[in-house]
Amino acid sequence: MNQIEIFAPGSVANISCGFDVLGFCLDPIGDIMRISKTKTPGVSIGKVTGQDLPTDPEKNVASVAAMALLKETPTEFGFQIDIEKKIKPGSGIGSSAASAAGAVFGINQLLGAPYTNNELIRFALAGEAIASGAAHADNLAPVLLGGFTLVRSNKTLDVIKLPNPSELVATVIHPNIELKTIHSRAILKPTIPLNKAIEQWGNLGAFVSALYTDDYDLLSRSMKDKVIEPYRAMLIPKFEQTRQAALKSGALGSGISGSGPSIFALSRGMQTAKKVGEAMADVYKKLDLKHQLYFSKINTQGIKILSQL
């Protein structure tokens, strides 16, 4: 195999109750990446469309991740990465994770898959780190493993794939402002009240239990964030109003997607998810704020291979 074309999907991290540890994978939103073997060793960024990304391999998330893999498994040939970037950087749905995960996934395939997808997370993390200012696998894990994932430890990269209640559909609304993860991290306090932390881990434990038992009511009661959201909400126009609009329209839960500014909701069934999306969009329409709206089943596969030759 000399070339592979893949679909590297977006993802939603945190899911309200699981800051830095929970995430799920989106289905219809993602980048197209073509990775081709080259004669010269090393990694180069080829054609980039859709967004203005660095072409310096030391600065591009995809190539930095790729080089981390090739440092451990050197090759006598090299790789060129072409990217149709459809996920906007700074939108809060794992733009850098898609690039980093896509690059290592594609190269791993071209090498005959010496690594499992779980093992690829640590290479992708090198790319993620230059984008977000801190190495977190909460977006990478769902892109590489699919479905819902939990990062037990960001230090040791102990990552678990969780089950996926089949009726869940995500709504994601992206107001057209760019919010860099590095900035939305800076607003957080280094300490949190113990009583809020207890609420948060009670909710996280219940959320995980609800995924195993298909308990949509419990899922709904668990999707709360009293720790991070109060700070980050300040950076997102009409966050609380949009969230409330989602809940009133039947969403099980709603919160900031990753570090924002996108806002996600989880609903039971596509019909409710669409109604929820309309209600969220109405808030931004009244503001004349441009936005994109996505509906997505949970992508249990993660990255998809489009073609290979």
Cite the active site residues: 128, 181
Residue 106: which H helix or E strand, with range? helix 95-110
Q: At what angle do helices 61-72 and 117-132 cross, to 10 degrees?
A: 130
Q: Which of 10, 3, 2 is nearest to 303 (CA)?
A: 10
| Binding segment (CB under 8 A) for a copy of itself, from list 88-96, 145-153, 164-172, 174-182 | 145-153
Site for a copy of itself in 210-269 (CB under 8 A): 212, 218, 221-222, 227
How far is 181 from 138, CA to CA, in rounded Å? 13
How far is 203 from 14, CA to CA, in rounded Å? 12
Asked if residue 171 binds a copy of itself (CB under 8 A), the reply is no
* Count, residues near a copy of itself per rule CB under 8 A: 39
How far is 4 from 81, CA to CA, in rounded Å? 10
Of 18, 23, 165, 253, the residue at the interface with a copy of itself (CB under 8 A) is 18
Asked if residue 192 binds a copy of itself (CB under 8 A), the reply is yes
| Binding segment (CB under 8 A) for a copy of itself, from list 1-9, 106-114, 193-201, 276-284 | 193-201
Q: Which of 162, 138, 158 is nearest to 212 (CA)?
A: 162
Residue 249: which H helix or E strand, with range? none
CB of residue 113 to a copy of itself, shortest distance in Å: 24
Nearer to a copy of itself, 88 or 183 (CB): 183
Asked if residue 182 binds a copy of itself (CB under 8 A), the reply is no
Asked if residue 209 binds a copy of itself (CB under 8 A), the reply is yes
Cα dist from 82 to 76, 177, 259, 276, whole Å: 20, 26, 27, 36
CB of residue 207 to a copy of itself, shortest distance in Å: 8
| Binding segment (CB under 8 A) for a copy of itself, from list 123-131, 158-166, 243-251, 262-270 | 158-166
Asked if residue 194 binds a copy of itself (CB under 8 A), the reply is yes
How far is 3 from 94, CA to CA, in rounded Å? 25
How far is 124 from 105, CA to CA, in rounded Å? 9
How far is 302 from 309, CA to CA, in rounded Å? 21
Residue 56 amino acid letter: D
| Binding segment (CB under 8 A) for a copy of itself, from list 13-21, 44-52, 77-85, 240-248 | 13-21
Nearer to a copy of itself, 77 or 201 (CB): 201
Nearer to a copy of itself, 199 or 282 (CB): 199
Q: Which of 143, 1, 142 is nearest to 62 (CA)?
A: 143
How far is 258 from 255, CA to CA, in rounded Å? 9
Asked if residue 19 binds a copy of itself (CB under 8 A), the reply is yes
CB of residue 19 to a copy of itself, shortest distance in Å: 6
Of 28, 41, 114, 193, the residue at the interface with a copy of itself (CB under 8 A) is 193
Residue 249 amino acid letter: S
Under the rule (CB under 8 A), what is the footprint of a copy of itself? 18-22, 150-154, 158, 160, 162, 188-195, 197-209, 212, 218, 221-222, 227
